[in-house]
Chain A
Amino acid sequence: MPEHGEVWVFAEVEDGRIIDVALELLGRGRELAQTLGVPLAAVLVGQKIRGLADRLFAHGADIVYGAEHECLAEYTTLPYARVLADLVRERQPEIVIYGATPLGRDLAPRVASTLKTGLTADCTDLQIGSYESGGRVYQHKLLQIRPAWGGNIIATIVSPEHLPEMATVREGVMRIPEPVNGRTGTYLEVPVMPCAEDVKVSVLERKTHPRRVDLRAAATIVAGGYGMGSKENFGLIHELAGVLGAAVGGSRAAVDAGFIHADHQVGQTGTTVRPKLYIACGISGAVQHRAGMEESAKILAINIDPEAPIFGVAHYGIVGDAREAIPRLIKALRGKL
């Protein structure tokens, strides 16, 4: 028996496509698997999924487990959880990680409870390390790192005596590895029992509405906060974004105040972004917000309060009223660009 089991990534599929967070997890999963000296596997569940495996191989999977059945065409909790729990029992992986999407956060706890193992939600980092307790040292454990207490602290969680070690990981915090075209691996078909027993919930209708904005793909983001003062003033954010060809973001306070739709929210409960330039206007920079944007390559903060925490993560600062500074920026940019 090898010393460790495999590292698994749950490859979530939406509208026939593997979603980005699954590829992000393959990047980190590759590193974890290398440290443990084990293969990296992806788990695909659904209908007509065989064709998706190549993309997983290209992004680093050595093995793809494919569980295919018509009753798995649409996600419902019980059949998916059963398929996954059965596969874990049979193959005994060391680690299983999921994207912390609405689906992942519905599925992973159900699986963890079935397997009576540990699970950590919404991690922002995963590493392999040791854990000491009661005079015992546990080697090669998954360190599950996540913000807690509304983002005010960072906790490192371990599951020392239970396998598999499981975690869900925030979307957007890890980088998608460069795909290697033509890279291949082993595709293993997983036999699936029909779902009759566990059809307790049926989906009558499903509508996907495209997001109003794709903040993760934006190279430049202009974001406004409560300091903009009103929805009318928030128009300045849109105007500056228009000049720069940037996407519009907002802080939680701006969303709660009705200045902007929740799809635009940057931060812990919104989207995690890392654009080339992030312009924060009238955003004080609560930890919840900073957690979602501090990895941006360059940050320009405009705030009337020189003590605002946003300046703690910024590269450029303007201390002044954003409502006066933005029109100046727009004017100057129109002259330059």
Chain B
Amino acid sequence: MPLRIIVLGKQVPDTKNVTGEVMKPDGTVNRAALAAIFNPEDLNALEMGLQLKERCGGEVIVMTMGPPRAAEILRDSLCRGADRVILLSDRRFAGADTLATSYTLAQAITTHLSPFDLVICGRQAIDGDTAQVPPQLAEKLGIPQVTYVEQVLECGDGRLRLRRDLGRSEEIVEASLPLLMTVPRTANHPRWPDARLLLKYRHARSGFEIEAEAKRRGKSVDETLDYLRTKGLFIESWGVEHIGADLARVGLGGSPTKVKKVDSVVLKGRDLRFFPPTDAGVKELIAELIEERTFV
């Protein structure tokens, strides 16, 4: 049973490596100073998609919504084995919260990628850590969702048997297709880009990149476009009109939630008493803890 699998990816700032220089004096984050990476759990989602394709047949389409620069993770996806990639990019998508994001993604899928069998997402992205887009997208697509999928036990006959890990419990579930599932980092080890694919797809370009490069080199856009198209190196990008999106439901304006304010994390200044790392120091510390009835 060949499956049409859509994997969603997001390019995110590497929030795990936030250093002093990245924080501005006003406590906000200097996005530009952070490396942009493939959201780690989206790589687990891609890996699960690729393994399913190898097992059950079909194709893997990777889609991302983001600024033109997000084409970087699409090139990466091609080098890891994706069959097709799509960049959802339009200034009017900017500032979207999870509801507006899920609407935009759903609109792209229903207008241009239906019918499909599976949507696979990483459990959550490391910039927002919300885990909200996948269930919201499933609702918009009118399909069931299975979150925290560790393993696909069986595929076939319009159904999947899945193992979920919920921390305190584990479930085996059976779900009918089409289906959306989310994948945590513990599910698998994402493969590395393939050297042969890397040689080919490092030349893949989106329309935004072609325009910028053509301008720089004084070449015509059409010439480059034709060349990349014939070589299978053109990265499709879709905007508001292409997916027939309702402007009132995308971007900042389509987002019910607003950021009221952002504060930097301030350490609670405490009276800190140091004790020397000696036998005498440790004894003194313990005497103090006992006196304060800290031991119970």
Q: What residues of chain A have their CB less than 8 Å away from a CB belonging to chain B?
A: 14, 77-78, 81, 102-103, 105-110, 112-114, 116-122, 131, 133, 143-144, 147-162, 198, 200-209, 211, 219-220, 244, 276-277, 287, 290-291, 294, 297-298, 300, 302, 309, 311-321, 324-325, 328-329, 331-333, 336-337
Contact = CB atoms under 8 A, between A and B. Distances in A.
A122 B131 CA distance: 10
Contacts of B132: 105, 108-109, 112, 119, 121
A332 B280 CA distance: 9
A200 B295 contact: no
B275 to A, nearest CB: 5
B241 interface: no
Nearest to A153: B262
B171 A206 contact: yes
Contacts of B271: 315
Would you call the interface of chain A mostly helix, strand, loop, or mixed?
Answer: mixed
B18 interface: yes
Interface of B: 13, 15-16, 18, 22-23, 27-29, 97-99, 102, 126-140, 143-148, 161, 166-176, 179, 255-265, 267-279, 281-283, 285-290, 292, 294-296
A313 B172 contact: no
Contacts of B278: 328
Contacts of A103: 166
A120 B259 CA distance: 11
Contact of A118 (B23, B97, B140, B273): B97
Nearest to B31: A149
B170 A207 contact: yes
Contacts of B28: 153
B267 A309 contact: yes
> Closest 5 CB pairs between A and B?
A320-B277, A118-B256, A150-B15, A312-B267, A121-B130
A109 B277 contact: no
Contacts of A300: 285, 289
Given A110-B136, A150-B15, 10 more contacts: A106-B147, A118-B99, A122-B130, A161-B256, A204-B171, A220-B295, A277-B289, A287-B265, A317-B273, A318-B275
B265 A153 contact: yes
B13 to A, nearest CB: 8
